[in-house]
Structure 1
Amino acid sequence: MTNPNDRALPRAVRLAMPLAREVAVEVAKQYGVCVRPVPLRRLDTQTGRWELVDVPCGSTLDAACPPCAKRNRQLRIAQCREGWHLDHEPTTTPDEPTDDQRWLVEFRADLQARREKAEQLGEDTTDWDAAIEGVDAEINEAGMRGNVLGRTAAKRVRSTRRRQDAPDLPKRKMTNTTLGRTFTAQDGKVYRPSLFVTLTLPSYGKVRDGVPVDPQTYDYARAARDALHFSKLVDRFVQNLRRVAGYDVQYFATVEPQQRLAPHLHMAIRGTLPRAELKQIIAATYHQVWWPPTHEVRFEGDHLPVWQDETGYLDPGTGEVLPTWEQALDQLDADQDAEPLHVVRFGQQHNIQSVLAGTPAAGKWLGYLTKYLTKSLADPLDTGAADNPARREHAARLVEALRSEPCSPTCPNWLRYGIQPKGAKPGMLPGRCRGKAHKPDHLGYAGRRVLVSRKWSNKTLAEHKQDRRTWVLEALGQPDQPTDPHRYMWKPVPAGDANVAPLAVRLLRSVAERQRWRAHLQQLEAQSLSAIRPAA
């Protein structure tokens, strides 16, 4: 509602005044309230009462919601701290399956039997396949990992012989432990050091202040491919690390942007290895991309493949059916002289630090490890660089290089090179891939920003979140009673629902609730201090 007194003010004065809604958003940020709450309708199955509940958006980026991003970063800090110098083996006993999980697997078995029967009778199994795919998705959402049938397709096997340009790696006998070595000093004190490692990609040309000195000679094509396959290189590094270390190495890693817009890795490693061995592992780690060649562009501009139902994509000039993804891989397998499409390696620059639990260095590297988690890969690390025209041009060139690069077997860009993508469907256009890797905010990297091994802190992120909730409730003097997971039913609220209050009203309600919490917490702290204060 407009304040009638504002109309009497000069226009220049009114324009200089902040909007009340924007002030409400800033106050919400100050109190740690989500500024993009998602309204959901909740049914209490015990009372039959419906109510509207604002659920935090859960964003991990400052640009979207600073309070949620800060909260997620704090959870990651707690997760990293608890697992880095663990001195006891984590328990990994899986939970007992619930009744719902058992029912889903039984239902999946019934669908599979019906599909096989239909296939034997020569009937169309498309509907059965769609139903099975939907149940498989529900199985994963219900808290079960992997495919209920395991691997259903034969895995293509490549030669495991190491490249001649990569050094060999030693291999130790594996021991059944996740803990690193300990060292005993002369005074009998036992030390359990761990590692902090930073790994980068190679140079693509000389840069100054994160911008290429000569953009014409900067190797954008290689930079784009290295970013696309960086996650696979990290996976291979972990495999080599465990092979050389001889134990089940646990790690907490984050992928962050460099000033030059290339991804690089910060990794906290439980346990320690000699620096010489670690440098050898870094030098020997590589990932080969065995995809069909892309040196010949067959279709671009207005000359693009056309879709034909029940056939696939055709050459518009000859009517020839383009080879499918599997056929293209078969041709690659049959070529004894074939070379990988791309080989990605780490660069020469890396940082290796030994860290002891409880030291100032441990806190320093912990903060450095999670410092930029609330930024996207395209965000400048230096806020002053946001308006740098040279940097914007550098980012645009990298995005353009990524536009025509295939990001996955299902990428529409394969049509540009005369190959039907895996799972081809009508409407695909080269250069119009919707994959995350092609988006300007990701700059080629489509993997996860936080990589955590399964036996790191002996807790899931949800359990760390529950620990935080328990601490807050205990501080407020409230019991942390477990909630029946079947008590509530949730439904999305349609856009424009008249029952949903304006955003500013909902934010102010949440701010008022936070104010009550803080006042209650301060009161409890004052009572605690007065109880322990010695009598005069």
Structure 2
Amino acid sequence: MVKTMPPLARGVLEAVAVEQGVCVRPVPMRRTDLHTGETTVVYVPCGHTLASVCPTCAERKRKLRAVQCRQGWHLDTEPIIERAAPDAEQAALMELRAQAQAERDRAEQHGTAHGEDVEFWDGLLARLDGEIEGSGVRGTLKTSEQKARRTRSTRRRQDVADLPRRPVDARTVGKVYRGKDGKTFRPSLFLTLTLDSYGRVRADGTPVDPDGYDYVRAARDALHFSKLVDRFVQNLRRFVGYDVQYFAAVEPQRRLAPHLHMAIRGTISRAELRQVVAATYHQVWWPSTDRVVYSGEHLPVWDAAASEEGGYVDPATGEVLPTWDEALDALDQDENAEPLHVVRFGRQIDAQGVIADSPDSRRCIGYLTKYLVKGVAECHEAETEAQRQHVDRMAETLRYEPCSPTCANWLRYGIQPKNPCKGLTPGFCKGKAHRRQHLGYGGRRVLVSRKWSGKTLADHKADRTAWALARLAEAGIPVSNPADPTAAHVWERAGPGDPDVKPVEHRLLLLINERAQRRQQLDQAQQTLTELSATQEAA
């Protein structure tokens, strides 16, 4: 018997907040006016991308991604991307950075006796780099000799067909086609790529034979899927001969393997796509994990005296474990060495031509952004015992599979991870890919090329705000823009214990009322503009 209980007040409040488009986890920020010194606490949206955390912010992010996808998919002119000239603050910071770098180099020339001076200048340089980045400057400066990049033979695998290369043209827009009726159109492409089979699965995604299902290959494919996507885009551009632009989303299938949905500007024949997919692979040149050296209670221990920075040693003999670089050096010297893993796409390819502003275009955009508000594991939640066991087996396989050179799991195989530190334990790596909600995929869910729409996601957000403010201004309802760059304000996080910070329930009530007023103002503006337009047409 199910008894219905009355709703909780907090639950009703959050439901109304979601319905009104208000963040359910507003963050208190203190805004200080540099001219007057006045301080105000402002509650800003949390900006989370998962609906399970904040449905309102996640849906707002999803819609923003949909706008970004739509605006860049069918461009008929090349996007123009210009770099802004440095302002006075950025120039001053860079001059200070140059002076600090010169002092650091001068201190280094005096030898180890002035090591403390070098450490001081290194710390100052790091802080200056942070301030320069915070001022809006993108990119980093190469100020020291970096270790040569480790490379292996670039000869293609013998089991993969060769892929011819063409000079890559600078254009990004697709070709124009003319129909028999004389009309022109510029179609684009919606592409879906999947990984190969690991064993037969049922309709619910669970394996027919769990014991014969290749969970190890499935886990490694998920861990390195993002590298395979990068290699596919690189091969595609070299093969078709122009700077292919894309908006892609990575989602899991019911069998929990990641697959790729990609909106591509312009068209590419299915035969060419199959050729590129068949020739695309990514080799993982890491040390072997076939032999488990340490497990259970017999694990390497940290020894601060193992090297200058410390390291891990054998618990019985005290022998220092090989470092990550030493393990790779041994791999390089072995002429018969094979990559730890080779990841490829499967044979299944789905490519559809799409026309701008068509029902198919809107459907594909909705499909691309459908699961962005959910975590990887939330896209296909386990409902049956077989599905839960499938997730458990996948998570257990990923537990001891190295996810990166810095993964703690390398200790299990007798190798120190890159940049080791005290407290690492195999099976308890904190990497994103090992978390159950990510199922091995630690990359970004949305992949957007640099010349997709000529705008960043922040630019698209600013466009939306500017549109609303313009409609209000046209109707005679002036509203200040909180993101106005000319406003002399300083923002800092306000603590929950501050006396002027309201409780969460109080914040939600204030924001719901403010949202309702803003919506009423926008509706009034729209109605005023409609009546004005009708009056002008009648005249």
Question: TM above 0.5, one fold?
Answer: yes
Equivalent in 164, 170, 187 of residue 193 of structure 1: 187
Aligned to 2:83: 94
Q: What is the distance in 2 between the residues matched to 1:173 and 1:103?
A: 41
Aligned to 2:41: 52
Q: Is 1:409 the counterpart of 2:405 in the alignment? A: yes
Structure 1 pair 485–296 and aligned structure 2 pair: CA distance change class (3 A): farther
Deviations 1:349-382 (A, max 9, x none): 221111111222111111111111111100143x
Q: What is the distance in 1 between the residues matched to 2:487 and 2:521?
A: 31
State the AA in 2 paired with 1:424. P
Aligned-residue CA RMSD (Å): 2.2
Aligned to 1:376: 375
Aligned to 1:238: 233
Which deviates more from structure 2 when the two are superposed, residues 293-302 or residues 116-125? 116-125
CA deviation after TM superposition for structure 1 residue 52, in Å: 0.8
Equivalent in 39, 42, 57 of residue 31 of structure 2: 42
Q: What is the distance in 2 between the residues matched to 1:435 and 1:17?
A: 42
Aligned to 2:135: 142
State the AA in 2 paired with 1:429. T
Q: Is the partner of 1:349 in helix, strand or coil?
A: strand
Q: What is the distance in 1 between the residues matched to 2:226 and 2:150?
A: 20
| 8 Å CA contact retained: 1:32, 1:67 | yes
CA deviation after TM superposition for structure 1 residue 447, in Å: 0.9
Aligned to 1:251: 246
Structure 1 pair 397–132 and aligned structure 2 pair: CA distance change class (3 A): farther
Unaligned ranges ≥5, structure 1:
1-11
State the AA in 2 paired with 1:398. M
Q: Is 1:462 the counterpart of 2:458 in the alignment? A: yes
Deviations 1:483-532 (A, max 9, x none): 24561111212233332212111111111111112222232333344441
Q: Is 1:329 the counterpart of 2:319 in the alignment? A: no
Q: What is the distance in 1 between the residues matched to 2:318 and 2:284?
A: 30
Q: What is the distance in 1 between the residues matched to 2:128 and 2:423?
A: 27
Structure 1 pair 380–185 and aligned structure 2 pair: CA distance change class (3 A): closer
CA deviation after TM superposition for structure 1 residue 188, in Å: 2.8
Q: Is the partner of 1:200 in helix, strand or coil?
A: strand
| 8 Å CA contact retained: 1:380, 1:386 | no
Q: Is 1:398 the counterpart of 2:394 in the alignment? A: yes
Q: What is the distance in 1 between the residues matched to 2:101 and 2:323?
A: 27
| 8 Å CA contact retained: 1:255, 1:449 | yes
Aligned to 1:434: 430
Structure 1 pair 439–366 and aligned structure 2 pair: CA distance change class (3 A): same
Structure 1 pair 111–225 and aligned structure 2 pair: CA distance change class (3 A): farther
Aligned to 2:169: 175
Unaligned ranges ≥5, structure 2:
none
State the AA in 2 paired with 1:266. H
CA deviation after TM superposition for structure 1 residue 92, in Å: 2.0
Q: What is the distance in 2 between the residues matched to 1:242 and 1:80?
A: 20
Q: What is the distance in 2 between the residues matched to 1:390 and 1:460?
A: 43
Q: What is the distance in 2 between the residues matched to 1:88 and 1:157?
A: 39
CA deviation after TM superposition for structure 1 residue 146, in Å: 2.9
Q: Is the partner of 1:236 in helix, strand or coil?
A: helix
Q: Is the partner of 1:483 in helix, strand or coil?
A: coil
| 8 Å CA contact retained: 2:495, 2:501 | no
Structure 1 pair 433–476 and aligned structure 2 pair: CA distance change class (3 A): same
Which deviates more from structure 2 when the two are superposed, residues 392-401 or residues 194-203? 392-401
Q: Is 1:83 the counterpart of 2:72 in the alignment? A: yes
State the AA in 2 paired with 1:237. F
| 8 Å CA contact retained: 1:85, 1:192 | yes
State the AA in 2 paired with 1:431. G
| 8 Å CA contact retained: 1:470, 1:480 | no
State the AA in 1 paired with 2:358. T
Which deviates more from structure 2 when the two are superposed, residues 80-89 or residues 471-480? 471-480
Q: Is the partner of 1:113 in helix, strand or coil?
A: helix
Q: What is the distance in 1 between the residues matched to 2:407 and 2:119?
A: 23
Q: Is 1:109 the counterpart of 2:104 in the alignment? A: no
Q: Among the aligned pairs, what percent are the same residue? A: 56
Which deviates more from structure 2 when the two are superposed, residues 234-243 or residues 293-302? 293-302
Deviations 1:366-407 (A, max 9, x none): 1111111111100143xxx54322222211211111111111
CA deviation after TM superposition for structure 1 residue 266, in Å: 0.6
Structure 1 pair 111–503 and aligned structure 2 pair: CA distance change class (3 A): same
Q: Is the partner of 2:350 in helix, strand or coil?
A: strand
| 8 Å CA contact retained: 1:298, 1:417 | yes
Structure 1 pair 258–493 and aligned structure 2 pair: CA distance change class (3 A): same
Structure 1 pair 249–307 and aligned structure 2 pair: CA distance change class (3 A): same
Aligned to 2:526: 525
User: Aligned runs of 1:313-328 on 2, under 5 Å?
Assistant: 313-328=312-327
CA deviation after TM superposition for structure 1 residue 17, in Å: 1.3
Q: What is the distance in 1 between the residues matched to 2:337 and 2:122?
A: 35
Q: Is 1:359 the counterpart of 2:358 in the alignment? A: yes
State the AA in 1 paired with 2:184. V
| 8 Å CA contact retained: 2:195, 2:257 | yes
Deviations 1:292-343 (A, max 9, x none): 1111111111111111114211111111111111111111111111111110
Aligned to 1:4: none
Equivalent in 243, 246, 260 of residue 265 of structure 1: 260
Q: What is the distance in 2 between the residues matched to 1:490 and 1:96?
A: 25
Aligned to 2:300: 305
Which deviates more from structure 2 when the two are superposed, residues 240-249 or residues 186-195? 186-195
Aligned to 1:475: 471
Q: What is the distance in 1 between the residues matched to 2:69 and 2:242?
A: 20
Equivalent in 284, 290, 303 of residue 289 of structure 1: 284
Deviations 1:249-291 (A, max 9, x none): 1111111121111111110111111110111111111000111
| 8 Å CA contact retained: 2:23, 2:46 | yes
Q: What is the distance in 1 between the residues matched to 2:432 and 2:316?
A: 32
CA deviation after TM superposition for structure 1 residue 128, in Å: 4.2
Equivalent in 257, 269, 274 of residue 274 of structure 1: 269
Q: Is the partner of 1:117 in helix, strand or coil?
A: helix
Structure 1 pair 114–72 and aligned structure 2 pair: CA distance change class (3 A): same
Aligned to 1:6: none
Q: What is the distance in 2 between the residues matched to 1:204 and 1:405?
A: 17
State the AA in 2 paired with 1:189. K
TM-score (norm 2): 0.92
State the AA in 2 paired with 1:192. R
User: Across the two proteins, how many residue pairs are aligned to each other?
Assistant: 521
Q: What is the distance in 2 between the residues matched to 1:34 and 1:61?
A: 12
Structure 1 pair 293–169 and aligned structure 2 pair: CA distance change class (3 A): same
